Chain A
């Protein structure tokens, strides 16, 4: 099957190496700088190493653990709520046929396609009036805007693949509708729920501008610290923060790849929403 069109050359391997190198390229200076003690121009490698960057990350009184904690809390809450909201919607879209489905899908997709910057500035005044501006719950609420579309659509895909035969069998054996959902449907969609939750977490974890607008600088998350470091002039601190920000994302990817079967809907992940 391989020889059909391919010339049996090593070209794909060489291309894969080049692509992998390009993907890895931005991480090279990040890792080197994070552990650099002294790295003057034009040295190719740091001339001295130090753990100053790592020390900054884990400094007990420092801002990083607190910011990481905020990011984590908001991310987990957003993921849980998006799954709770997206699961029934996914069930309706993937599991049933009804009128105006296309319109509803368009509506749910819209926040993925139209940047939520405009809508967030729009709700800001109302959030101020309701006392939600500058608070953790307020930030959590706006993080739902980019995450709910993803959980709903990923879960719609999961429900679309189910035929409903197992549920029917359970019903014939005397299970109630609720029992069939709890004992048959839910365990069946659990891997999809996990993937949807991970994506929602990743999207929330990577959010900068929504947190900035609604948190108003009072809700400090990791990207806030990274942004102010990157605007400053200390590559050691900036790189250490960038790695601390990227590592959980990569871990979530590894987890998701374990759950997701190869060839899953890559197009659902969207163009770098994180």
Chain B
């Protein structure tokens, strides 16, 4: 058996599954977004759905909200994760690894429900505030669910993704030469200077790569905003789902166009991530 044939045969099942179910599905979504659905008598190809979606105020509101939620979730998670990893880098690695693994394992829905029971107006936080005499009625507590600023969604994402980024940072911190930090210290560098000039250049590629993954994920995820988001505007994946569920099948191309746009944006972020990850791999040798 030739080497090339062997490799092809080994790859065939995985590439086949992803090719048919994922790439095929994306292709079908693209075709439907062009208005071509012979099954329901739509035989014309057109870009109408894209024209409509891109000039639709609802879509633009959704896009802005989605960028805001994934941007803020990613930024907050990254900063907190780097701080936590720096503080914990010298403590028992095993313990912090287990503590960080837990939220990664917990399904998003469970996290969302737990966070909601903490920050709701009758939740744990409001009860504590009442016990401290800060509020009297549940209504006095700020509305953090289904709210303008999507606080509940962002908190859920931060709770879920900080541990992921922190584990990546902890792993890359092992590549920081402590001798170098020691030299910088003897030369009179302060804590901030040591971080900025010695530690940060080593960990920044992994930090950026992990943040890109989190951004792509929060941009395209459905469950948390579906459960904790307000009804208008909704995040893009929820909007696509709602359009898809429309009984009027004429809304289908629109739903698919939103899907294709989500795939394009997350795909671009993915390409950026893979380029960075590839560079990282080469540098590690």
Residues on B with beta carbons closer than 8 Å to the beta carbon of A44? 127-128, 131
Q: Which residue of A lies closest to B89 (CB)?
A: A12
Report Cα–Cα, A41/B125, bound state, in Å.
11
Residues on B with beta carbons closer than 8 Å to the beta carbon of A117? 220, 222, 237, 240-241, 259, 262
A165 part of interface (Cβ distance < 8 Å) = no
On whether the beta carbons of B260 and A13 are closer than 8 Å, the reply is no
B27 part of interface (Cβ distance < 8 Å) = yes
Task: Given the known inter-chain contacts A118-B26, A122-B24, please indicate yes or no for A270 contacting B11, CB distance below 8 A.
Answer: no
B106 part of interface (Cβ distance < 8 Å) = yes
Task: Given the known inter-chain contacts A20-B99, A23-B102, please indicate yes or no for A86 contacting B237, CB distance below 8 A.
Answer: no
On whether the beta carbons of A266 and B88 are closer than 8 Å, the reply is no
Q: Total A-B residue pairs with C-beta atoms closer than 8 Å?
A: 314
On whether the beta carbons of A29 and B123 are closer than 8 Å, the reply is yes
Interface residues on A, range: 35 or more
Residues on B with beta carbons closer than 8 Å to the beta carbon of A92? 7, 10-11
B68 part of interface (Cβ distance < 8 Å) = no
Q: 1/0 per residue B15-34: CB within 8 Å of A?
A: 10111011111111110100
Task: Given the known inter-chain contacts A16-B91, A245-B109, please indicate yes or no for A208 contacting B181, CB distance below 8 A.
Answer: no
Q: Which residue of B lies closest to A251 (CB)?
A: B105
A-side interface residues toward B, CB under 8 Å? 1-2, 4-6, 11-13, 15-16, 19-20, 22-23, 25-30, 33, 41-44, 84-86, 88-89, 91-92, 96, 98, 102, 104, 106-111, 113-123, 125-126, 129, 141-142, 144-145, 148-149, 152, 202, 205-206, 208-209, 223, 226-227, 230-231, 235, 238-239, 242, 245-246, 249-250, 252-253, 257, 262-263, 266-267, 269-274
Residues on A with beta carbons closer than 8 Å to the beta carbon of B114? 25-27, 29-30, 242
- In whole Å, how far is A169's beta carbon from the nearest beta carbon of chain B? 21
Q: Contacting A115 at CB < 8 Å: which of B88, B93, B111, B237?
A: B237
Besides the known contacts A209-B226, A272-B160, 9 further A-B residue pairs in the complex with CB atoms under 8 A apart: A16-B91, A25-B114, A96-B7, A98-B7, A110-B22, A114-B263, A117-B240, A267-B206, A269-B167
Q: Contacting B29 at CB < 8 Å: which of A23, A118, A245, A263?
A: A118
